Amino acid sequence: MTPTYEEDKIAILTVIESFLATIKNREPYKMRQYIIPNGGGVFERPGGVIASTLSGLADRMETRIKDFSPDVLIEETIHDPVVMIDQNLAMTWAKFNFTVDGKLNHCGTNVIVLLRENESWKISGCFDNHKLPDS
């Protein structure tokens, strides 16, 4: 039976939230279960644009998490997501906050593209911009 829009929306947001939880849980190697490895990402940062595969993103997060002391809480959360679905293709547009010990470090907008693969949703593309709290 074909899932309803609401069922797909819940499944999609669960994948995204689980993907982001790997940061909070300091387990970025687990990101790989939610992605299509050769999918791509483009991320706007103050020093310029970073483009990589999604596997490369997971590798980068493994390195970046080590920059934070183990007792520091790091977390990325999304809010107000807009989910669009057409059969096996979905896109989510959501504001995000990245916090360090509860204090806003940076924020912006995530655009996450997903494909349904073997009846489960996988992230195939990630794109974001980056704003500092003062901007």
**134 found inside a domain:** no
Residue 1 has what pLDDT?
A: 77
**Residues of the chain below pLDDT 50:** none
Q: Is residue 135 part of a domain?
A: no
70 neighbors 24 (Cβ within 8 angstroms): no
Instruction: Answer yes or no: is 43 within a domain.
Output: yes
Q: Is residue 133 part of a domain?
A: no
| 83-92 burial: b if 16+ Cβ within 10 Å, else e | bebeeeebeb
Count of structural domains within the chain: 1
The answer to whether position 58 is within a domain reads: yes
Specify if 80 maps to a domain. Answer: yes
> What sign results for the dihedral spanned by CA atoms 2, 38, 62, 52?
negative
Give the range of the structural domain holding residue 42, as residue numbers without chain letter: 5-128
CATH of the domain at 23: 3.10.450.50
Q: Do the domain assignments include residue 95?
A: yes
SS3 assignment, position 60: helix
Could you report the per-residue pLDDT of 59-88, keeping only the tens digit for each?
Answer: 988 898 888 899 999 999 999 999 999 999
Q: Considering the entire predicted model, what is its pTM? A: 0.92
For residue 55, is it within any domain?
yes
